Amino acid sequence: MKTFTATELKQNSGKVLDTALQNPVSIMRHGRAVAVLSSEAEYQEFLKYRQVTQEVQAGFTQIDRGEFSSRSMDELFKEAQKQVAAKKKN
């Protein structure tokens, strides 16, 4: 990941933004990474990934509590596809 200092960001924001549109960039302040700048598309992908991760973790939590489903994997997959399609419409 390309790295810029906070000062470089302030002085060359156009260059930093152009770079971030291609690949995420790290912003450093006082020698420490303080932020990551990315394109909107990259951020939306990150949000999707985080949502899936949270849903999987919720599923593991249900299993840990002994909450099991009697539905088959095919039924669960079809339900997941319906939910994804519904979210895309919104």
- In the predicted model, is pLDDT for residue 90 greater than 80? no
Give span(s): CATH 3.40.1620, the chain.
2-38
Question: What is the C-alpha to C-alpha distance for residues 34 and 51, in angstroms, rounded to an integer?
Answer: 23
Q: Lowest-confidence range among 6-10, 27-31, 36-40, 83-87?
A: 83-87
The hierarchical CATH code for the domain 2-38 is 3.40.1620
Give the start-end residues of each E strand in 39-82.
Answer: none
Whole-number average pLDDT of the chain: 91
Coil, strand or helix: which one is 66?
coil
Tell me the per-residue pLDDT of 24-57, one tens digit each, with 9 for 90 and over: 999 999 999 999 999 999 999 999 999 889 988 8
